[in-house]
Structure 1
Amino acid sequence: MSRLPTYYVSHGGGPWPWMREQTGGRYDRLEASLQAMAQAHHGQVRAILMVTAHWETPDFTLSSSPQPGMLYDYYGFPPHTYQVHYRAPGSPELAQRALDLLQAGGVTARLDPERGFDHGTFSALQAAYPEAQIPVVQLSVLQSFDPAAHIAAGRLLAPLRDEGVLIIGSGLSYHNLRLLNAAGTVPSQQFDAWLQQTLTAASPDEREAQLLQWEQAPSARIAHAREDHLIPLMVAVGAAHDEAGACVYHEDLFMGVVAASSFRFGEVV
């Protein structure tokens, strides 16, 4: 079985795949990038490990239900978006395998048999895998947001890539809802330029060193006043720590106002 790359994807806002009448074509390029990701690995993906920005826990936690429910973790959206379903199965087996890898590396981790899919998972996967047939396990991010801990967790989880598991960090490369307007345009582009350089041009060692100091990047704390949507990137990078990065999606004016990007680490085989 070929080794799968890892991804960090910008997952968009709320339940956007179910809001085409309201959003028009604003998500067309993001949707195309997620579809391209799925097509690049057609027939290779046995399961998906989704590192979601929308689940914060004291210790790493894995969803282990065989049939996860839905978490409508957004506010102010049309009524029908609180009835949507992404019906992919879970995988208790993958959850246990990931737990074992983390614990073998000395990392405290737990299983959660009740956790349902949040929109950081189901919106991106609805675009990429609308048939919802591939099993999905969610991995939380730590409440500490410690970059080193997430990079280390990614390294421990790397063997899953040889087992047909697609590791996806789901967040948003710019996430400051108070500045999701013209005031965020330049800061978002400044931070995005740093991301591009760090993730696609730096050596693997330099990349990790710079990510550990991400707060020093241009406009870092404007782009991420709270880094929940950046931290899934660290797991994706850690799981492909010695492999090159590539930008697989970019818009200078996502939603008409800010720069946003997604990245792949490792080669498409």
Structure 2
Amino acid sequence: MGKLPVYFIPHGGGPWHVTKNAMGDPIGYGRLREYLKNFGEQYSQKIKAILVVSGHWEEDLPTLQFGSNPHLLYDYYGFPESTYHLKWPAPGNPELAEQIENLFKARRVKTKRDYERGFDHGIFVPLMIAFPKANIPVVQLSLVNSFDPETHINLGEVLEPLRNEGVLIIGSGMSYHNMQGFMSGSSSATGVSMQFDGWLTQTVEINDAKKRNAMLINWKNAPKARESHPRSEHLAPLFVVAGAAGIDQGSRDYSGLLMGVKVSGYKFG
């Protein structure tokens, strides 16, 4: 299918897809489920592998998952016992991980290998909706724990050639991630998320990759930036995706309210 697009998807909170009343917002989560389901249906027969960067794995150096059969990391707390026994046995892909490692080596970027880590909920929750057959190999790449935007954009630039080889690159995070705001149910949290989301969408959709990336590097100057992301681990996957997008323009691919706050997903290419 030629050069694949790259995506930043919202993964929601915890194991929302199997909780009663979808964590208090069945309508908002219902829309997200439908989006993820349709997203997977577009690509399930067209791709060879998936590379995911999740907001739930950070290391001192970019680290690649080399396991052949990653388990699931139930990295959430206080949910029903059944949510700690979910199954999604997608295979890993050490060969792809090594190929990615070599791309980084060619650009003199130091990386690490991890043979033990499983798929965190930023991966298996959205992908078991999008790709329920769990038959497409998945490799995870960590964030760098500085969360420096330019560093992550540069990592993404290294990954761009994979788009021509049937590898679907996904950043899994949240365009808004302030847990106090999510839980407050207040109109002020809604307003904060709307302001930041407006800036973020306008920035992603700039038809000039150099200018777009410069804006993303300076995201902390955006309206309500720190109120939306007190810690930026859920935004950093978007920086990787923007780098992997190359010169391709972005567009908002998902838009909705979730627990009263605005969240968006983006597609490039």
Change (3 A) 1:90 1:207: same
| Contact 2:64–2:139 (CA under 8 A) maintained in structure 1 | yes
CA distance in 1, matches of 2:140, 2:251: 24
Q: Does 1:8 align with 2:11?
A: no
Could you say what secondary structure the match of 2:213 adopts? helix
For residues 155-197 of structure 1, the C-alpha deviation after alignment (integer angstroms, 9 at most, x for no partner) is 1011111110000000001000012131311110100000110
CA distance in 2, matches of 1:22, 1:166: 28
Q: Could you tell me which residue of structure 2 aligns to residue 245 of structure 1?
A: 250
The code of the aligned residue for 1:184 comes to A
The code of the aligned residue for 2:164 comes to D
Q: Could you tell me which residue of structure 2 aligns to residue 138 of structure 1?
A: 140
CA distance in 2, matches of 1:85, 1:60: 27
Could you say what secondary structure the match of 2:28 adopts? coil
Q: Does 1:121 align with 2:123?
A: yes
CA distance in 2, matches of 1:226, 1:141: 13
Could you say what secondary structure the match of 2:78 adopts? coil
CA distance in 2, matches of 1:241, 1:250: 23
Matches within 5 A, 1:196-207: 196-207=201-212
The code of the aligned residue for 1:134 comes to I
Q: 1:56 aligns with which of 55, 58, 62?
A: 58
Identical counterparts, % of pairs: 47
The code of the aligned residue for 2:84 comes to Y
CA distance in 1, matches of 2:258, 2:65: 31
Count, aligned residues: 264
| Contact 1:63–1:115 (CA under 8 A) maintained in structure 2 | yes
- CA deviation after TM superposition for structure 1 residue 241, in Å: 2.2
Unpaired stretches in structure 1, ≥5 consecutive residues: none
The code of the aligned residue for 1:107 comes to V
CA distance in 1, matches of 2:145, 2:7: 21
Matches within 5 A, 1:37-76: 37-76=39-78
CA distance in 2, matches of 1:9, 1:104: 29
CA distance in 1, matches of 2:117, 2:81: 22
CA distance in 1, matches of 2:105, 2:223: 36
| Contact 2:22–2:29 (CA under 8 A) maintained in structure 1 | no
- CA deviation after TM superposition for structure 1 residue 70, in Å: 1.2
Could you say what secondary structure the match of 1:167 adopts? strand
For residues 102-141 of structure 1, the C-alpha deviation after alignment (integer angstroms, 9 at most, x for no partner) is 1211111111010101000001101111111111111100
- CA deviation after TM superposition for structure 1 residue 3, in Å: 0.8
- CA deviation after TM superposition for structure 1 residue 4, in Å: 0.5
| Contact 1:211–1:234 (CA under 8 A) maintained in structure 2 | yes
Q: Does 1:167 align with 2:172?
A: no
Q: Could you tell me which residue of structure 1 aligns to residue 17 of structure 2?
A: 17
Q: Could you tell me which residue of structure 2 aligns to residue 216 of structure 1?
A: 221
The code of the aligned residue for 1:53 comes to G
The code of the aligned residue for 1:205 comes to K
Unpaired stretches in structure 2, ≥5 consecutive residues: none
Could you say what secondary structure the match of 2:39 adopts? helix
TM (normalized to structure 1)? 0.95
Q: Could you tell me which residue of structure 2 aligns to residue 261 of structure 1?
A: 264
- CA deviation after TM superposition for structure 1 residue 21, in Å: 4.5
CA distance in 1, matches of 2:175, 2:2: 28
- When structure 1 is superposed on structure 2, of 6-15 and 34-43 the one drifting more is 34-43
CA distance in 1, matches of 2:208, 2:115: 39
CA distance in 2, matches of 1:56, 1:41: 27
CA distance in 1, matches of 2:132, 2:27: 18
- CA deviation after TM superposition for structure 1 residue 18, in Å: 1.7
CA distance in 1, matches of 2:201, 2:28: 22
Could you say what secondary structure the match of 1:174 adopts? coil
CA distance in 1, matches of 2:44, 2:94: 23
| Contact 1:17–1:126 (CA under 8 A) maintained in structure 2 | no
